[in-house]
Protein backbone atom coordinates (compact mmCIF):
# COMPACT_ATOMS: atom_id res chain seq x y z
CA UNK A 1 0.00 0.00 0.00
CA UNK A 2 1.16 3.58 -0.59
CA UNK A 3 2.61 5.28 2.49
CA UNK A 4 1.27 8.45 4.11
CA UNK A 5 2.85 11.36 2.25
CA UNK A 6 3.03 13.41 5.47
CA UNK A 7 5.52 10.92 6.96
CA UNK A 8 7.44 10.28 3.76
CA UNK A 9 11.21 10.81 3.55
CA UNK A 10 12.47 12.09 0.18
CA UNK A 11 14.23 9.34 -1.74
CA UNK A 12 12.22 6.46 -0.27
CA UNK A 13 9.33 4.85 -2.11
CA UNK A 14 5.78 6.04 -1.53
CA UNK A 15 4.37 2.95 -3.29
CA UNK A 16 5.46 -0.71 -3.04
CA UNK A 17 7.72 -0.08 -6.07
CA UNK A 18 11.22 0.30 -4.61
CA UNK A 19 13.21 -0.49 -7.76
CA UNK A 20 12.74 0.80 -11.30
CA UNK A 21 14.34 -0.61 -14.46
CA UNK A 22 13.94 1.25 -17.76
CA UNK A 23 14.95 -0.66 -20.91
CA UNK A 24 15.14 1.32 -24.13
CA UNK A 25 15.23 -0.73 -27.32
CA UNK A 26 15.43 0.56 -30.90
CA UNK A 27 13.37 1.86 -33.79
CA UNK A 28 9.81 0.61 -34.04
CA UNK A 29 6.49 2.43 -34.06
CA UNK A 30 3.41 1.22 -32.20
CA UNK A 31 1.50 0.20 -35.33
CA UNK A 32 4.57 -1.63 -36.61
CA UNK A 33 4.70 -3.85 -33.51
CA UNK A 34 1.31 -3.81 -31.79
CA UNK A 35 -1.11 -2.50 -34.41
CA UNK A 36 -2.97 -5.84 -34.34
CA UNK A 37 -3.07 -6.14 -30.52
CA UNK A 38 -6.67 -6.71 -29.36
CA UNK A 39 -8.22 -3.66 -27.73
CA UNK A 40 -5.40 -1.29 -28.62
CA UNK A 41 -5.68 1.77 -30.85
CA UNK A 42 -3.82 0.20 -33.74
CA UNK A 43 -3.81 0.07 -37.52
CA UNK A 44 -4.27 -3.65 -38.17
CA UNK A 45 -4.46 -3.90 -41.97
CA UNK A 46 -0.82 -3.36 -42.94
CA UNK A 47 1.20 -6.00 -44.84
CA UNK A 48 3.15 -8.36 -42.63
CA UNK A 49 6.78 -7.33 -42.21
CA UNK A 50 9.69 -9.63 -42.90
CA UNK A 51 11.90 -10.65 -40.00
CA UNK A 52 14.54 -9.40 -40.38
CA UNK A 53 13.33 -6.31 -42.17
CA UNK A 54 15.05 -5.61 -45.48
CA UNK A 55 16.29 -2.09 -44.72
CA UNK A 56 16.93 0.52 -42.07
CA UNK A 57 14.56 3.38 -42.85
CA UNK A 58 15.73 6.96 -42.46
CA UNK A 59 14.62 8.30 -39.08
CA UNK A 60 16.54 11.53 -38.52
CA UNK A 61 14.85 14.86 -37.77
CA UNK A 62 13.98 15.92 -41.35
CA UNK A 63 12.71 12.43 -42.24
CA UNK A 64 10.61 12.09 -39.09
CA UNK A 65 9.03 15.51 -39.55
CA UNK A 66 8.36 14.63 -43.17
CA UNK A 67 6.71 11.37 -42.03
CA UNK A 68 4.44 13.26 -39.64
CA UNK A 69 3.70 16.01 -42.20
CA UNK A 70 2.10 18.37 -39.68
CA UNK A 71 -0.15 15.58 -38.42
CA UNK A 72 -1.30 14.22 -41.78
CA UNK A 73 0.86 11.09 -41.22
CA UNK A 74 1.32 10.61 -44.95
CA UNK A 75 5.02 11.27 -45.56
CA UNK A 76 6.38 7.78 -44.97
CA UNK A 77 8.50 5.65 -47.29
CA UNK A 78 6.64 2.91 -49.15
CA UNK A 79 8.69 0.41 -47.10
CA UNK A 80 7.29 1.85 -43.85
CA UNK A 81 3.78 0.41 -44.22
CA UNK A 82 4.40 -3.00 -42.64
CA UNK A 83 3.71 -4.59 -39.26
CA UNK A 84 4.41 -7.63 -37.12
CA UNK A 85 2.01 -10.05 -35.48
CA UNK A 86 1.87 -12.06 -32.28
CA UNK A 87 3.74 -14.89 -34.02
CA UNK A 88 6.63 -12.58 -34.88
CA UNK A 89 7.15 -11.09 -31.40
CA UNK A 90 5.74 -13.75 -29.04
CA UNK A 91 7.59 -12.71 -25.88
CA UNK A 92 6.82 -9.02 -26.22
CA UNK A 93 3.21 -10.01 -26.91
CA UNK A 94 3.08 -12.19 -23.79
CA UNK A 95 4.29 -9.32 -21.61
CA UNK A 96 1.61 -7.06 -23.11
CA UNK A 97 -1.11 -9.64 -22.46
CA UNK A 98 -0.07 -10.36 -18.88
CA UNK A 99 0.97 -6.89 -17.72
CA UNK A 100 0.55 -3.38 -19.18
CA UNK A 101 0.73 -1.89 -22.69
CA UNK A 102 0.60 1.80 -23.60
CA UNK A 103 -1.04 2.76 -26.90
CA UNK A 104 -0.75 6.54 -26.43
CA UNK A 105 2.96 6.70 -25.64
CA UNK A 106 5.35 8.67 -27.85
CA UNK A 107 9.02 9.27 -28.40
CA UNK A 108 9.93 12.61 -26.86
CA UNK A 109 11.49 14.22 -29.90
CA UNK A 110 10.82 13.93 -33.64
CA UNK A 111 14.35 12.80 -34.39
CA UNK A 112 16.80 9.92 -33.93
CA UNK A 113 18.32 8.05 -30.99
CA UNK A 114 20.61 10.23 -28.89
CA UNK A 115 18.20 13.11 -28.14
CA UNK A 116 15.50 10.67 -27.03
CA UNK A 117 17.91 8.90 -24.70
CA UNK A 118 18.87 12.21 -23.10
CA UNK A 119 15.18 13.01 -22.66
CA UNK A 120 14.76 9.73 -20.80
CA UNK A 121 16.99 10.95 -17.95
CA UNK A 122 16.47 14.73 -18.09
CA UNK A 123 12.94 15.36 -19.45
CA UNK A 124 14.65 17.50 -22.09
CA UNK A 125 17.47 17.11 -24.61
CA UNK A 126 19.64 20.06 -23.70
CA UNK A 127 19.37 20.98 -27.36
CA UNK A 128 20.92 18.03 -29.20
CA UNK A 129 18.86 17.09 -32.25
CA UNK A 130 21.09 14.52 -33.96
CA UNK A 131 22.76 11.26 -32.99
CA UNK A 132 26.29 11.51 -31.58
CA UNK A 133 28.36 9.21 -29.41
CA UNK A 134 31.11 11.14 -27.64
CA UNK A 135 29.14 13.86 -25.89
CA UNK A 136 31.24 15.76 -23.35
CA UNK A 137 34.28 13.76 -24.47
CA UNK A 138 34.08 15.11 -28.04
CA UNK A 139 37.01 16.91 -29.60
CA UNK A 140 37.16 20.62 -28.87
CA UNK A 141 35.75 21.92 -32.15
CA UNK A 142 32.84 19.48 -32.47
CA UNK A 143 29.50 21.12 -33.21
CA UNK A 144 26.20 19.33 -33.67
CA UNK A 145 22.84 20.22 -35.17
CA UNK A 146 20.66 21.33 -32.26
CA UNK A 147 17.23 22.78 -31.62
CA UNK A 148 15.68 25.06 -29.02
CA UNK A 149 12.41 24.00 -27.41
CA UNK A 150 10.58 26.45 -29.66
CA UNK A 151 11.89 24.62 -32.73
CA UNK A 152 14.58 27.12 -33.69
CA UNK A 153 17.71 25.29 -34.95
CA UNK A 154 21.27 26.14 -33.94
CA UNK A 155 24.67 24.47 -33.60
CA UNK A 156 26.22 23.46 -30.27
CA UNK A 157 28.99 21.48 -28.62
CA UNK A 158 27.36 18.18 -27.50
CA UNK A 159 27.88 18.63 -23.75
CA UNK A 160 24.96 20.18 -21.92
CA UNK A 161 24.84 22.02 -18.61
CA UNK A 162 21.36 20.83 -17.65
CA UNK A 163 19.79 19.30 -14.58
CA UNK A 164 18.83 15.63 -14.73
CA UNK A 165 17.04 12.97 -12.72
CA UNK A 166 20.31 11.24 -11.71
CA UNK A 167 21.46 14.52 -10.14
CA UNK A 168 18.20 14.72 -8.18
CA UNK A 169 18.74 11.16 -7.06
CA UNK A 170 22.30 11.91 -5.98
CA UNK A 171 20.98 14.72 -3.78
CA UNK A 172 18.38 12.38 -2.27
CA UNK A 173 20.93 9.65 -1.56
CA UNK A 174 19.40 7.25 -4.08
CA UNK A 175 21.45 4.75 -6.09
CA UNK A 176 21.33 4.65 -9.88
CA UNK A 177 23.24 3.17 -12.81
CA UNK A 178 23.08 3.67 -16.54
CA UNK A 179 24.18 0.66 -18.62
CA UNK A 180 25.14 1.27 -22.24
CA UNK A 181 27.51 -0.69 -24.47
CA UNK A 182 26.88 1.66 -27.40
CA UNK A 183 28.13 5.27 -27.12
CA UNK A 184 25.25 6.93 -29.01
CA UNK A 185 22.80 5.61 -26.38
CA UNK A 186 24.90 6.63 -23.39
CA UNK A 187 22.90 9.68 -22.35
CA UNK A 188 24.84 10.63 -19.17
CA UNK A 189 27.98 11.33 -21.21
CA UNK A 190 26.15 14.28 -22.81
CA UNK A 191 25.21 15.84 -19.45
CA UNK A 192 28.10 17.89 -18.09
CA UNK A 193 27.55 17.21 -14.38
CA UNK A 194 27.06 13.45 -14.81
CA UNK A 195 30.03 13.00 -17.13
CA UNK A 196 32.28 14.87 -14.69
CA UNK A 197 31.02 13.55 -11.36
CA UNK A 198 29.21 10.24 -11.79
CA UNK A 199 31.44 8.11 -14.00
CA UNK A 200 31.22 5.23 -11.52
CA UNK A 201 27.48 4.97 -12.28
CA UNK A 202 27.91 5.00 -16.07
CA UNK A 203 28.52 1.35 -16.99
CA UNK A 204 29.81 0.85 -20.54
CA UNK A 205 28.83 -2.83 -20.62
CA UNK A 206 25.12 -3.61 -20.74
CA UNK A 207 25.71 -7.25 -19.78
CA UNK A 208 26.91 -6.07 -16.36
CA UNK A 209 23.30 -5.42 -15.37
CA UNK A 210 22.49 -9.14 -15.16
CA UNK A 211 25.60 -9.71 -13.05
CA UNK A 212 24.58 -6.94 -10.67
CA UNK A 213 21.08 -8.37 -10.24
CA UNK A 214 22.42 -11.86 -9.55
CA UNK A 215 24.91 -10.43 -7.05
CA UNK A 216 22.17 -8.59 -5.18
CA UNK A 217 23.61 -5.26 -6.29
CA UNK A 218 20.80 -3.74 -8.37
CA UNK A 219 20.48 0.04 -8.02
CA UNK A 220 17.23 1.73 -7.04
CA UNK A 221 16.93 2.98 -10.62
CA UNK A 222 18.62 1.33 -13.60
CA UNK A 223 18.54 2.46 -17.21
CA UNK A 224 19.57 -0.33 -19.59
CA UNK A 225 20.26 -0.11 -23.32
CA UNK A 226 21.01 -3.23 -25.39
CA UNK A 227 24.27 -4.60 -26.66
CA UNK A 228 24.86 -3.72 -30.29
CA UNK A 229 23.68 -7.00 -31.85
CA UNK A 230 20.47 -7.37 -29.79
CA UNK A 231 18.71 -4.05 -30.23
CA UNK A 232 15.64 -4.61 -32.47
CA UNK A 233 17.24 -1.98 -34.73
CA UNK A 234 16.59 -2.86 -38.39
CA UNK A 235 17.86 -4.79 -40.21
CA UNK A 236 18.53 -6.96 -37.13
CA UNK A 237 15.94 -9.70 -36.48
CA UNK A 238 13.61 -9.34 -33.50
CA UNK A 239 14.65 -12.54 -31.75
CA UNK A 240 17.94 -11.15 -30.48
CA UNK A 241 16.32 -8.08 -28.93
CA UNK A 242 13.47 -10.10 -27.44
CA UNK A 243 15.99 -12.46 -25.88
CA UNK A 244 17.89 -9.50 -24.40
CA UNK A 245 14.72 -8.22 -22.72
CA UNK A 246 13.58 -11.72 -21.73
CA UNK A 247 16.87 -12.46 -19.97
CA UNK A 248 16.59 -9.25 -17.98
CA UNK A 249 12.96 -9.91 -17.02
CA UNK A 250 13.65 -13.56 -16.13
CA UNK A 251 16.68 -12.65 -14.03
CA UNK A 252 14.71 -10.06 -12.04
CA UNK A 253 11.71 -12.38 -11.70
CA UNK A 254 13.96 -15.15 -10.36
CA UNK A 255 15.38 -12.81 -7.71
CA UNK A 256 14.04 -11.18 -4.56
CA UNK A 257 13.89 -7.89 -6.49
CA UNK A 258 10.76 -8.99 -8.36
CA UNK A 259 8.49 -8.31 -5.38
CA UNK A 260 9.13 -4.54 -5.48
CA UNK A 261 10.28 -3.78 -9.04
CA UNK A 262 8.72 -2.22 -12.12
CA UNK A 263 10.30 -2.87 -15.52
CA UNK A 264 9.50 -0.39 -18.28
CA UNK A 265 10.34 -1.45 -21.86
CA UNK A 266 10.11 0.99 -24.76
CA UNK A 267 11.64 1.79 -28.17
CA UNK A 268 13.59 5.02 -28.66
CA UNK A 269 11.79 6.23 -31.80
CA UNK A 270 9.63 4.92 -34.62
CA UNK A 271 12.52 3.98 -36.87
CA UNK A 272 10.77 5.45 -39.92
CA UNK A 273 7.91 2.92 -39.67
CA UNK A 274 4.34 4.06 -40.23
CA UNK A 275 2.01 4.95 -37.38
CA UNK A 276 -1.48 6.35 -37.86
CA UNK A 277 -1.67 8.54 -34.73
CA UNK A 278 -0.54 12.15 -35.11
CA UNK A 279 1.80 13.03 -32.22
CA UNK A 280 0.59 15.85 -29.96
CA UNK A 281 2.97 18.79 -30.12
CA UNK A 282 4.08 19.82 -26.64
CA UNK A 283 6.67 22.25 -28.00
CA UNK A 284 8.74 22.87 -31.11
CA UNK A 285 10.68 19.62 -30.71
CA UNK A 286 7.95 17.06 -30.36
CA UNK A 287 6.43 14.74 -29.57
CA UNK A 288 7.83 12.26 -32.04
CA UNK A 289 6.22 9.10 -33.39
CA UNK A 290 4.16 6.78 -31.20
CA UNK A 291 6.15 3.84 -29.78
CA UNK A 292 5.16 0.85 -27.62
CA UNK A 293 5.48 0.83 -23.83
CA UNK A 294 5.42 -2.39 -21.81
CA UNK A 295 5.04 -2.17 -18.01
CA UNK A 296 6.07 -5.39 -16.24
CA UNK A 297 5.59 -5.60 -12.48
CA UNK A 298 3.82 -7.67 -9.81
CA UNK A 299 1.63 -4.59 -9.29
CA UNK A 300 0.87 -3.98 -12.98
CA UNK A 301 -2.81 -4.33 -13.83
CA UNK A 302 -3.23 -7.58 -15.72
CA UNK A 303 -3.92 -7.11 -19.43
CA UNK A 304 -4.18 -3.35 -19.02
CA UNK A 305 -4.01 -0.97 -21.98
CA UNK A 306 -3.29 2.64 -21.05
CA UNK A 307 -4.63 5.40 -23.25
CA UNK A 308 -3.08 8.21 -21.20
CA UNK A 309 -0.59 10.48 -22.96
CA UNK A 310 2.96 9.46 -22.14
CA UNK A 311 6.48 9.98 -23.44
CA UNK A 312 10.02 9.29 -22.22
CA UNK A 313 9.77 12.09 -19.62
CA UNK A 314 7.04 9.95 -18.04
CA UNK A 315 9.75 7.65 -16.65
CA UNK A 316 11.28 10.63 -14.87
CA UNK A 317 7.84 11.71 -13.67
CA UNK A 318 7.06 8.21 -12.35
CA UNK A 319 10.30 8.07 -10.38
CA UNK A 320 9.75 11.58 -9.03
CA UNK A 321 6.21 10.63 -7.99
CA UNK A 322 7.25 7.33 -6.45
CA UNK A 323 10.20 8.67 -4.47
CA UNK A 324 8.90 12.13 -3.58
CA UNK A 325 11.39 14.07 -5.70
CA UNK A 326 10.86 17.55 -7.13
CA UNK A 327 10.28 17.82 -10.85
CA UNK A 328 12.97 19.19 -13.15
CA UNK A 329 10.73 21.94 -14.52
CA UNK A 330 10.81 20.41 -17.99
CA UNK A 331 8.40 18.00 -19.71
CA UNK A 332 8.04 16.19 -16.38
CA UNK A 333 6.27 19.29 -15.03
CA UNK A 334 3.62 19.29 -17.77
CA UNK A 335 0.24 18.16 -16.38
CA UNK A 336 -0.73 16.49 -19.67
CA UNK A 337 2.25 14.09 -19.48
CA UNK A 338 1.37 10.90 -17.57
CA UNK A 339 3.34 9.72 -14.55
CA UNK A 340 2.38 6.13 -15.53
CA UNK A 341 0.71 5.41 -12.18
CA UNK A 342 -2.46 4.29 -13.98
CA UNK A 343 -0.69 1.06 -14.98
CA UNK A 344 -0.60 -0.10 -11.35
CA UNK A 345 -3.00 -1.42 -8.72
CA UNK A 346 -1.13 -1.48 -5.43
CA UNK A 347 -4.06 -3.16 -3.67
CA UNK A 348 -4.21 -6.20 -5.96
CA UNK A 349 -2.58 -9.53 -5.07
CA UNK A 350 0.91 -9.29 -6.61
CA UNK A 351 1.27 -10.96 -9.98
CA UNK A 352 3.62 -13.97 -10.07
CA UNK A 353 6.67 -14.05 -12.34
CA UNK A 354 6.12 -14.79 -16.02
CA UNK A 355 9.21 -16.78 -16.97
CA UNK A 356 9.55 -17.03 -20.75
CA UNK A 357 11.89 -19.12 -22.87
CA UNK A 358 14.47 -17.49 -25.09
CA UNK A 359 13.66 -17.64 -28.79
CA UNK A 360 15.76 -19.66 -31.28
CA UNK A 361 18.30 -17.24 -32.66
CA UNK A 362 21.74 -17.10 -34.22
CA UNK A 363 23.76 -14.07 -35.18
CA UNK A 364 25.58 -16.05 -37.87
CA UNK A 365 24.95 -15.11 -41.50
CA UNK A 366 23.31 -17.97 -43.43
CA UNK A 367 23.65 -17.62 -47.22
CA UNK A 368 21.64 -19.96 -49.51
CA UNK A 369 23.50 -22.45 -51.71
CA UNK A 370 23.86 -20.67 -55.03
CA UNK A 371 26.74 -19.80 -57.30
CA UNK A 372 26.31 -16.23 -56.20
CA UNK A 373 23.95 -14.76 -53.62
CA UNK A 374 23.71 -11.40 -51.90
CA UNK A 375 24.11 -11.55 -48.14
CA UNK A 376 23.38 -8.74 -45.70
CA UNK A 377 25.66 -8.23 -42.72
CA UNK A 378 24.47 -5.87 -39.99
CA UNK A 379 27.47 -3.90 -38.73
CA UNK A 380 27.58 -2.83 -35.11
CA UNK A 381 27.85 0.76 -33.97
CA UNK A 382 31.36 2.13 -33.57
CA UNK A 383 34.09 4.33 -34.92
CA UNK A 384 37.04 4.14 -37.25
CA UNK A 385 39.31 2.87 -34.47
CA UNK A 386 37.07 -0.10 -33.63
CA UNK A 387 37.56 -3.63 -34.97
CA UNK A 388 34.48 -5.55 -36.09
CA UNK A 389 34.45 -9.32 -36.57
CA UNK A 390 31.94 -11.13 -38.80
CA UNK A 391 31.21 -14.86 -38.79
CA UNK A 392 29.90 -16.92 -41.69
CA UNK A 393 28.91 -20.58 -41.31
CA UNK A 394 29.52 -22.93 -44.25
CA UNK A 395 27.40 -26.05 -43.74
CA UNK A 396 28.61 -28.33 -46.55
CA UNK A 397 31.32 -30.95 -46.11
CA UNK A 398 33.53 -29.80 -48.99
CA UNK A 399 36.04 -26.95 -48.74
CA UNK A 400 34.77 -23.78 -50.43
CA UNK A 401 36.78 -21.26 -52.35
CA UNK A 402 37.25 -18.18 -50.21
CA UNK A 403 37.81 -14.63 -51.33
CA UNK A 404 38.90 -11.47 -49.65
CA UNK A 405 36.12 -9.17 -48.52
CA UNK A 406 36.58 -5.76 -50.14
CA UNK A 407 35.30 -2.79 -48.14
CA UNK A 408 36.05 0.73 -49.34
CA UNK A 409 38.81 -0.65 -51.53
CA UNK A 410 40.56 -2.46 -48.67
CA UNK A 411 40.89 -6.27 -48.74
CA UNK A 412 40.05 -8.27 -45.61
CA UNK A 413 41.02 -11.95 -45.56
CA UNK A 414 38.37 -14.61 -44.97
CA UNK A 415 39.87 -17.07 -42.45
CA UNK A 416 38.90 -20.68 -41.70
CA UNK A 417 38.30 -20.81 -37.92
CA UNK A 418 37.58 -24.54 -37.81
CA UNK A 419 34.61 -26.74 -37.06
CA UNK A 420 31.50 -25.28 -35.45
CA UNK A 421 28.00 -26.62 -34.77
CA UNK A 422 26.29 -27.20 -38.13
CA UNK A 423 29.36 -26.54 -40.26
CA UNK A 424 32.70 -24.76 -40.61
CA UNK A 425 33.14 -21.23 -39.30
CA UNK A 426 34.76 -18.60 -41.53
CA UNK A 427 35.60 -15.20 -40.18
CA UNK A 428 36.90 -11.83 -41.26
CA UNK A 429 37.66 -8.67 -39.32
CA UNK A 430 37.58 -5.04 -40.39
CATH code for the domain in which residue 124 is found: 3.40.720.10
Do 299 and 180 share a domain, yes or no? yes
Q: How far apart are CA 5 and CA 15, in angstroms?
A: 10
| DSSP line for 216-277 | T---SEEEE---TTSS--TTS-HHHHHHHHHHHHHHHHTSGGGGGEEEEEEESS-TT---SS
**Residues 382 and 326 placed together within one structural domain of the fold:** no
The 10s digit of each residue's pLDDT in 117-168 is: 999 999 999 999 999 889 999 999 999 999 999 999 999 999 999 999 999 9
- The pLDDT value recorded for residue 2 is 56
129 lies in the same domain as 197: yes
Residue 381 pLDDT > 80, yes or no? no
Residue 361 is assigned to a structural domain of this protein: no
Name the more confident of 406 and 244: 244
When mean pLDDT is compared across 206-215, 301-310, 355-364, the lowest value belongs to 355-364
Q: Domain span at residue 403?
A: 367-430
pLDDT at site 53 = 86
In a domain, 170, yes or no: yes
**106/287 Cα distance (integer angstroms):** 6
Strand, helix or coil at 92? helix
Task: Give the residue from 343, 377, 396 where a domain finishes.
Answer: 343
Higher pLDDT, 320 or 228: 320
- So what's the pLDDT on residue 52? 87
- Whether 350 maps to a domain, the answer reads no
Question: Count of alpha carbons within 13 Å of 196, Cβ hemisphere only?
Answer: 8
Task: Give me the pLDDT at residue 392, please.
Answer: 75
What is the band of 424 on the pLDDT scale with cuts at 50, 70, 90? confident
The answer to whether residue 258 sits within a structural domain is yes
Concatenating the DSSP letter of every residue in 12-70 gives S-SSS--EEEEEEE-S--HHHHHTTSTTSS----SPBPPSS-S-----SHHHHHHHHGG
> Is the domain of 321 the same as that of 405?
no
Query: 404 and 294 share a domain?
Result: no
Instruction: Check pLDDT > 60 for residue 301.
Output: yes
Last residue of one domain, picked from the residues 327, 343, 359: 343
Residue 362 belongs to some domain of the structure: no
Please tell me whether residues 285 and 413 are part of one structural domain.
no
Residue 324 and residue 403 share a domain: no
Whole-model pTM?
Answer: 0.86
Total domains, the chain: 2
For residue 41, the model assigns a pLDDT of 99
Mean pLDDT of 71-84: 96
Q: What is the pLDDT of residue 226?
A: 97
Amino acid sequence: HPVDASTHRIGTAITPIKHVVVIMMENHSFDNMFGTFPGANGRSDLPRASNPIITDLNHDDPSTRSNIDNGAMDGFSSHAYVQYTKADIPNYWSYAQQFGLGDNFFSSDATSSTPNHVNMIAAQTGGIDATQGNGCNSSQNTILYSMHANGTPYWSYPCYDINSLPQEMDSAGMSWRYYSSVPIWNAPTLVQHLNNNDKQNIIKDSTQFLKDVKAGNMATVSWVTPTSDYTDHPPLPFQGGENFVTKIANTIMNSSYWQDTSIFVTWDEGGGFYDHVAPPQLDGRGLGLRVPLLVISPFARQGYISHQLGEFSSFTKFIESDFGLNNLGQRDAMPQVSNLMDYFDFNQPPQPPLILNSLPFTGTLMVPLLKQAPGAVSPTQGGTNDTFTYNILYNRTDTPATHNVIIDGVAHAMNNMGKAPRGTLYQYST
